[in-house]
């Protein structure tokens, strides 16, 4: 019975990742973490004695896990891209606000003393 619960939880995770909306990223991450914790607890309760039907169910879980991993990698890449874009915007705004703080492009020296 325990492997069936792991299978059901894995399907819920797959559905959650398929329905990912980047506008509600914080809520998604919280829900994902809770579901992963629940599945981890179920996996720890499993025994090592499996029937043939349990093995087939295990192979199905492996296939679903591969889809979950691909979805999580795509989400991770999206988050990394957003962070890089934010850093770039931050640098651009800082250069606009204070254009003489860094080295100049033409090698000119600007004396800041008055």
In order, the DSSP letters of 15-28 are HHHHT--GGGHHHH
Confidence (pLDDT) at 54:
82
The per-residue pLDDT for range 29-70, each reduced to its tens digit, is 999 999 999 999 988 888 777 788 888 988 999 999 999 999
The per-residue pLDDT for range 73-85, each reduced to its tens digit, is 999 999 999 999 9
Confidence (pLDDT) at 35:
94
Residue showing tokens 């640098």: 91
Dig out the tokens for 1 from the structure: 């019975």
Whole-model pTM: value is 0.75
Look at 2 and 112; give whichever has higher pLDDT: 2
Q: Report how far residue 89's alpha carbon sits from residue 82's, in angstroms, rounded to the nearest whole number.
A: 11
DSSP secondary structure code for residue 48 in this structure: S
Confidence (pLDDT) at 109:
64
């Amino acid at each position: 019975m325990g492997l069936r619960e792991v299978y059901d939880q894995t399907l819920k995770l797959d559905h959650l990742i398929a329905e990912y909306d980047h506008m509600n990223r914080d809520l998604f991450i919280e829900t994902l973490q809770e579901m992963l914790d629940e599945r981890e607890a179920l996996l720890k309760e499993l025994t090592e004695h499996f029937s043939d039907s349990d093995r087939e169910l295990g192979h199905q879980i492996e296939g679903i896990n591969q889809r979950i991993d691909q979805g999580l990698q795509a989400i991770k890449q999206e988050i990394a891209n957003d962070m890089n874009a934010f850093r770039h915007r931050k640098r651009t705004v800082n250069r606009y606000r204070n254009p003489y703080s860094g080295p100049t492009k033409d090698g000119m020296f600007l004396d800041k003393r008055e």
